């Protein structure tokens, strides 16, 4: 049920976002750049909106956001219960789990 609700929410957000990008491209560019400031992405000297901005609200974007949100459903921690053993990727590209770093 949670995955279905997330699917509906993300899909609706992507449809609305894509529609707004078509109808109001300059306003959406300002909005996306403003969001980039929050994550400090704009501080990167190689940052160029034209390289990544149009990918917002695309089908790949939808799939990525769904994957992240669905993965987070499994990462809940409760007091008195074991913490989730979240997968992480090392600098060499190897997939490990948090418990691996504790041993």
Contact 56, 21 (CB under 8 A): yes
Q: What is the mean pLDDT of residues 53-62?
A: 87
Predicted confidence at residue 8, as pLDDT, reads: 92
Looking at every residue in the chain, the average pLDDT score rounds to 84
- Asked whether the predicted pLDDT for residue 36 surpasses 80, the reply is no
Of 18 and 38, the one with more pLDDT: 18
Contacts of 55 (CB under 8 A, 6+ apart): 61
Question: Can you read off the two tokens belonging to residue 45?
Answer: 């000297």
- Asked whether the predicted pLDDT for residue 32 surpasses 80, the reply is yes
Q: Is the pTM of this model over 0.85?
A: no
Rg (CA), the chain: 18
pLDDT band for position 63 (cuts 50, 70, 90): very high
Predicted confidence at residue 35, as pLDDT, reads: 80
What distance in Å separates the CA atoms of residue 37 and residue 77, rounded to the nearest whole number? 30
pLDDT in tens, 11-26: 999 999 899 999 999 9
């Amino acid at each position: 049920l949670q995955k279905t609700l997330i699917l509906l929410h993300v899909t609706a957000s992507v449809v609305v976002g894509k529609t707004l990008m078509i109808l109001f491209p300059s306003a959406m560019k300002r909005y996306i750049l403003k969001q980039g400031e929050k994550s400090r992405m704009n501080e990167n000297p190689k940052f160029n909106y034209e390289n990544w901005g149009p990918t917002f609200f695309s089908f790949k974007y939808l799939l990525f956001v769904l994957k992240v949100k669905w993965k987070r459903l499994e990462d809940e921690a409760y007091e008195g219960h074991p913490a989730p053993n979240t997968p992480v990727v090392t600098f060499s590209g190897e997939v490990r789990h948090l418990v691996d770093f504790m041993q």
